[in-house]
Amino acid sequence: SQQGEEDPQALSIQEGENATMNCSYKTSINNLQWYRQNSGRGLVHLILIRSNEREKHSGRLRVTLDTSKKSSSLLITASRAADTASYFCATDGYNTNAGKSTFGDGTTLTVKP
């Protein structure tokens, strides 16, 4: 079964608005990553947040991690039409699960111009 589960499955917003996507997972993690995938293309790594970190920023992206709730959120501020894509979270575990990221089924974001 998938470790990470994104919510919502689909999100549609107007350009300039903020978009928030959530990810929940079941077992302890070493780190959590967010990826973007444009239609028909490979995944692009956005941010990696380690289990001892609570928040990370990269440009218009802000990721939070709450290990007590086993959840993470990705916030895209001032969205643009070019942000239209699917967003996936992936979790890396410990020991035998180290370095084997398990992906959720993604959130499809549509930003309308």
Contact residue for other proteins among 45, 54, 80, 112 (CB under 8 A): 45
Does 40 help bind other proteins (rule: CB under 8 A)?
A: yes
Does 26 help bind other proteins (rule: CB under 8 A)?
A: no
Contact residue for other proteins among 33, 72, 73, 84 (CB under 8 A): 33
Does 71 help bind other proteins (rule: CB under 8 A)?
A: no
Nearest to other proteins of 59, 113 (CB atom): 59
**For the residues of 63-113, what is the DSSP string, one character each?**
EEEETTTTEEEEEE-S--GGG-EEEEEEEE-SGGGTT--EE---EEEEEE-
Nearest to other proteins of 15, 37 (CB atom): 37
Q: Which residues contact 3 (CB under 8 A, 6 or more apart)?
A: 25, 26, 27, 29, 91, 93, 102, 104
Place of tokens 């107007």: 14
Does 102 help bind other proteins (rule: CB under 8 A)?
A: yes
Contact 9, 108 (CB under 8 A): yes
Under the rule (CB under 8 A), what is the footprint of other proteins? 2, 4, 30-31, 33, 35, 40-45, 48, 88, 90, 92, 96, 98-106
